[in-house]
Structure 1
Amino acid sequence: MKKWFGPIGIIVIILIVLALVLIPKYNSLVTAEENVDSKWAQVENQLQRRYDLIPNLVESVKGYANHEQQIIADITNARAQMGNANTPEQQAVANDALSGALSRLLVVVENYPNLKADANFRQLMDELAGTENRLAVAREDYNNEVQQFNKHVKRFPGNLMAGMFGFEQKEYFKAAAGAEQAPSIDFSQSGTQ
């Protein structure tokens, strides 16, 4: 009986040591992934807030800019694309389309001084600007969490654990191609309407 106790005892000790090493690493991967998901939920929250503000903004502009229907249609289409996006990648593409349409709307607004002076419009623009700021912070927080998670997944021994339990790297929220260039805005027609 003592012959078997030695090898069995060693195997039990090895299993205990492995458990003491693997369990905390697995739990840290789970925690890191939950942090990424939580930060993404905050990005989605701000995207939803912007999504909800846009119809009010569009309605405010419609009364002043009836002939600017293409921009209003672009915003409506981009908003619909945003509503149908399911993954972070799809939401990033939809976000870029919506941001582009909104920037074109702001150029149109410059041609309508009465609209810029309207209290409801100003309040909506202030809320939208605040939402854009919150969205920028939420995207930064998300990308920071993705960076931490990806470090866990790529570093040894985390990469072994990640591979064994199916943890994969997360995608960063990336800027659209061409976002590094400021949009050109022409105010030469401002006040002529």
Structure 2
Amino acid sequence: MNIGLGIGCAAAAIAFLLFYRVKRKLTKLHIQLNETFQEVDAFMERRVAVHVKWAETVAAYDLEAQGILADTTVIQDRFQDMPVEEKTRLCKKLDELAERMMASAKKCPRLRTSGKYIQLHSQAEELRMNMPDACCAYNTHAEQINKEIGRFPANIAALITGFEQKELFHHPEKKSAAV
């Protein structure tokens, strides 16, 4: 009886130590992920601000583009309160709004030749092109935490402690960088 109790206590102690190490590793990865996301978040906030200014310019020339302005303004107003998962999908929405603004410019020659439109369009395009660079570190850390959560025993520890798989920013131009 004493031997069984001793073995049971030893097994429980080993399980607890294993759980503690796995939880500590997941916490460390999660902190690194949050730090890289703060950089991406600041970059995305600049991108949203440029899109709002661009939409204001488009709406000033094309009254049919008021919906674009409303959409970008809603995004800007909600940006600080958006969860990370929604922000990972925001790039696609901004790209769709940019296409609509460019289509509006095709219909309106005065808008297309406006200096402010040209400047804001080039800023938005530059930010769009640099977005994959900004997201590479985040995606790398998200892939690491997702891979770790997918393994045993980390999957059990993640389930108990509430760690979840993270969504990646989707940019076909670049893959994740080695960190």
Fold equivalence (TM over 0.5): yes
- Cα separation, 1, equivalents of 2:98 and 2:130: 17
- What is the alpha-carbon root mean square deviation over aligned residues? 3.5
TM-score by length of 1: 0.65
Residues of 2 paired with 1:135 and 1:146: CA distance? 16
The DSSP-based 3-state class of the residue aligned with 1:150 is helix
In the alignment, which residue of structure 2 is the partner of 1:103?
99
Q: Distance in 1 between matches of 2:161 and 2:88?
A: 28
Shift of 1:14: 7.9
Q: Does 1:121 align with 2:89?
A: no
TM-score by length of 2: 0.69
Distance in 2 separating the partners of 1:88 and 1:17: 32
- Mapped to 2, the partners of 1:114 and 1:69 lie a distance apart of 13
- Aligned equivalents of 1:119, 1:139: Cα separation in 2: 30
- Structure 1 residues 5-20: aligned runs within 5 Å: 15=13, 19=17
Cα 1:166–1:140 shift into 2, 3 Å = same
1:76 to 63, 70, 74: 70
Alignment partners' CA distance in 2, 1:32 and 1:44: 18
What are the equivalent positions in structure 2 for 1:132-147 lying under 5 Å apart? 132-147=128-143
5+ long unaligned stretches in structure 2: 173-179
Choose between structure 1 and 2: higher helix proportion.
2
Change over 3 Å in CA distance of 1:162–1:116 after alignment to 2: same
Q: Deviations over 1:94-125 (max 9, x none)?
A: 54333212211112223455544444333322
Query: Number of paired residues?
Result: 167
Identity in percent: 19
C-alpha separation in 1, matches of 2:93 and 2:145 = 28
> Where do residues 1-193 of structure 1 align in structure 2 (5 Å cutoff)?
15=13, 19=17, 21-63=18-60, 65=61, 68-81=62-75, 83-84=77-78, 86-92=82-88, 94-112=90-108, 115-174=111-170
Distance 1:18 1:40 in 2: 31
